[in-house]
Chains A and B, each alone.
Chain A
């Protein structure tokens, strides 16, 4: 029912937002599927963010077994990393909010 085109469209829409530094899709085990980041960064982001997201999900589930993690935002001095987890895949967007603000 949903086609590759729809995925592409979603990604394109995300990237059209202000201040987006990169979009990354990876599996829960940490292997990058799609990325607009340079290869080295892709690998580190995929490896580190998946681990953190899994940990966060585990925290949410431990606190309340009926609960689950739906979104994770990491705000750092330079940018914000937004993580949307699903059963098998993670959508990670790195955005520079200040840049968007300035524009």
Chain B
């Protein structure tokens, strides 16, 4: 059945305006009920329909802007004198005192209070109630699971986010002076943040760990600092190395500087400085305590006197000897430890090769010893190099995905960590525990290795944040500290962590055990080296022997041939004899007088 309506119109009326008008209903088609379809009908049961009248909702979160607070205080100095007494007038005070001493109440009070104080003083003199009963008892923390917790976060106050390239703790402990000097700069070549018109902020900061809101002192170098170090001998002075190669010296006691800011006291001149960013600078031991050494990727190491930074006191090219091809290597990290030797330096290079420098024997290749440049070297720049604080002979390098431990008198590393799943960016030893070291990773994790506990796995991993970490520094020296760890990331955020006692306090026998382990590994490595040398010698000897043999080839061949012929002869004769014997046995019965002979 089809309902169709034929619509006709003359051609001439096509496109004409349409005019609608009301009309009466008109039946076009009428369909009568059909009982046949009735049986197909089913009633829907149950019938469900939903209605919803809840209004639409959404959840969103936001943080309020960070509030910068600062603490201030007042100090009451002159004492609370009555209104009519002028504290600056001696006679007034004298008169007041005279009057007070005549006061009856004063006398009774003194009489009452005297014995009380006396009792306490006697107590103090008799027994030390604050005596440390358990002094010198070493607690065993080895059973504790390692842990770390975040204490504070220091954010670069600048809008342009720069990498925290170096952290240096104030040489005095956190009890008296918990301060960290943090250098901020962008080390990426032609970084986007350099390219736009806004000037790169140059300032670096010294933070008080108790006050994460505002920096304690702002340092204003001519170019962003890449490294910064307190002078351990005079803790108010610092030396820093800049991105453009300058070395600058700061004295925080400078009186005429505006509050909380410090301009460099002295700066080197650009013509006589490094040509690349200064990657590390160290105060070195000297009589005056003004000497420092710096290293840069331009392949130079320079020595400075901070009182006269006009030109370096000494310059050294970081080049391999003629055997190594005389290649110049860019220094990317440095280590100086007075206890290991005041003329000894270790430099980690961009090429992954370790250099040891001893100024005492400058005659042989400027005193530079080049370590393994084959399989033992890092596959990328060495970001950190540090001697073990308890065993100075051994040092650690951090680069590519591994941290390696070396001994001074061997060219190859004695221990290597497994390859981490992410690039390593820096590392350092625990100052208190001989077998513990920290490495920072590009995925925002700090890995803590405890060689006293195990050598094949990380002892503890702590996730600091999402951003790549860039530097790490642990507070303390061999005697105390080791609990506070400052970690910097690429956005200029420095996180202060506190590690648990088991990671910070020296374990019983640890020093000996670690030393034993290192010595053992050294011995193994030495033996391997020896074996390799032997093998080489053996191989050389073999080669020589085979050469000799080749020369005497002819006689040798004849002799062999002769021997072979002799053997064949003998075999042949034996075979004949056997056959003859058999034959004679067979013919014995038939022909007695056979040819037996």
Could you tell me which A residues sit within 8 Å of B by CB distance? Answer: 2-4, 6-7, 10-11, 13-14, 17-20, 25-27, 29-34, 43-44, 46-48, 50-51, 70-71, 73, 75, 80, 82, 84, 86-89, 91, 93, 95, 97, 100-101
Residue in chain A with minimal CB distance to B106: A89
Top-3 shortest CB links A-B:
A30-B80, A29-B80, A10-B114
Given contacts A3-B107, A7-B107, A33 and B118 within 8 Å (CB-CB):
no
Partner of B110, one of A10, A46, A73: A10
Could you tell me which B residues sit within 8 Å of A by CB distance? Answer: 76-82, 85, 87, 93, 96-97, 100-114, 116-118, 120-122, 124-125, 128, 130
On whether the beta carbons of B113 and A18 are closer than 8 Å, the reply is no
Q: How far is the CA of A44 from the CA of B78 in the complex (A)?
A: 7
On whether the beta carbons of A75 and B79 are closer than 8 Å, the reply is no
Q: Which of B110, B111, B121 has the most CB of A within 10 A?
A: B110
Q: List 7 extra interface pairs beyond A31-B82, A34-B101, CB under 8 A.
A: A7-B101, A33-B97, A47-B78, A84-B116, A88-B106, A93-B117, A100-B125
On whether the beta carbons of B118 and A13 are closer than 8 Å, the reply is yes
Given contacts A89-B106, A89-B109, A97-B124, A71 and B116 within 8 Å (CB-CB):
yes
Q: How far is the CA of A34 from the CA of B97 in the complex (A)?
A: 7
Partner of B121, one of A25, A33, A87, A95: A95
On whether the beta carbons of A6 and B116 are closer than 8 Å, the reply is no
* Chain B hits for A25, CB < 8 A: 106, 110
Q: What secondary structure prevails in chain A residues at the interface with B?
A: mixed
Q: Which of B112, B124, B130 has the most CB of A within 10 A?
A: B124
* Chain A hits for B101, CB < 8 A: 4, 7, 33-34
On whether the beta carbons of A31 and B110 are closer than 8 Å, the reply is no
* Chain A hits for B116, CB < 8 A: 70-71, 84
A and B contact pairs by CB, cutoff 8 A, 9 listed: A19-B125, A47-B77, A50-B80, A84-B117, A86-B109, A88-B103, A89-B110, A91-B114, A100-B121
On whether the beta carbons of B110 and A7 are closer than 8 Å, the reply is yes
Q: Which of B109, B111, B112, B113 has the most CB of A within 10 A?
A: B113
* Chain A hits for B93, CB < 8 A: 31
On whether the beta carbons of B124 and A47 are closer than 8 Å, the reply is no
On whether the beta carbons of B107 and A2 are closer than 8 Å, the reply is yes
Given contacts A14-B114, A25-B110, A86-B112, A93 and B82 within 8 Å (CB-CB):
no
On whether the beta carbons of B122 and A31 are closer than 8 Å, the reply is no
Given contacts A27-B80, A48-B76, A33 and B106 within 8 Å (CB-CB):
yes
Residue in chain A with minimal CB distance to B93: A31
* Chain B hits for A75, CB < 8 A: 130
Residue in chain A with minimal CB distance to B108: A2
Q: How far is the CA of A11 from the CA of B101 in the complex (A)?
A: 13
Partner of B100, one of A27, A50, A82: A27
On whether the beta carbons of A97 and B128 are closer than 8 Å, the reply is yes
On whether the beta carbons of B79 and A47 are closer than 8 Å, the reply is yes
Residue in chain A with minimal CB distance to B121: A17
Residue in chain B with minimal CB distance to A86: B109
Q: How far is the CB of A35 from chain B (nearest CB, A)?
A: 9
Residue in chain B with minimal CB distance to A92: B117
On whether the beta carbons of A30 and B96 are closer than 8 Å, the reply is no
* Chain A hits for B103, CB < 8 A: 88
Q: How far is the CA of A18 from the CA of B109 in the complex (A)?
A: 23
* Chain B hits for A32, CB < 8 A: 79, 97
* Chain B hits for A10, CB < 8 A: 110-111, 114
Q: How far is the CA of A70 from the CA of B109 in the complex (A)?
A: 12
On whether the beta carbons of A17 and B106 are closer than 8 Å, the reply is no
* Chain A hits for B109, CB < 8 A: 86-89, 91
On whether the beta carbons of B117 and A4 are closer than 8 Å, the reply is no
On whether the beta carbons of B76 and A29 are closer than 8 Å, the reply is no
* Chain A hits for B113, CB < 8 A: 84, 86, 89, 91
Q: How far is the CA of A89 from the CA of B104 in the complex (A)?
A: 12
* Chain A hits for B82, CB < 8 A: 29, 31
Q: How far is the CA of A81 from the CA of B489 in the complex (A)?
A: 46
Q: How far is the CA of A87 from the CA of B417 in the complex (A)?
A: 70
* Chain B hits for A73, CB < 8 A: 120
Q: How far is the CA of A18 from the CA of B124 in the complex (A)?
A: 9
* Chain A hits for B77, CB < 8 A: 43-44, 47
* Chain A hits for B110, CB < 8 A: 6-7, 10-11, 25, 89, 91
Residue in chain B with minimal CB distance to A99: B125
Q: How far is the CA of A6 from the CA of B107 in the complex (A)?
A: 8
Q: How far is the CB of A11 from chain B (nearest CB, A)?
A: 8
Q: How far is the CA of A13 from the CA of B87 in the complex (A)?
A: 30
Partner of B124, one of A4, A26, A95: A95
Q: Which of B93, B97, B128 has the most CB of A within 10 A?
A: B97
Given contacts A31-B81, A84-B116, A86-B113, A100 and B107 within 8 Å (CB-CB):
no
* Chain A hits for B120, CB < 8 A: 71, 73, 82
Q: How far is the CA of A82 from the CA of B128 in the complex (A)?
A: 15
On whether the beta carbons of B79 and A82 are closer than 8 Å, the reply is no
Residue in chain B with minimal CB distance to A25: B110
Q: How far is the CB of A5 from chain B (nearest CB, A)?
A: 10
Residue in chain B with minimal CB distance to A7: B110
Q: How far is the CA of A10 from the CA of B111 in the complex (A)?
A: 7
On whether the beta carbons of A17 and B76 are closer than 8 Å, the reply is no
* Chain B hits for A4, CB < 8 A: 101-102, 107
Residue in chain B with minimal CB distance to A26: B79
Q: How far is the CA of A20 from the CA of B117 in the complex (A)?
A: 11
* Chain A hits for B97, CB < 8 A: 32-34
Residue in chain B with minimal CB distance to A45: B79
Residue in chain B with minimal CB distance to A91: B113
Residue in chain A with minimal CB distance to B124: A97
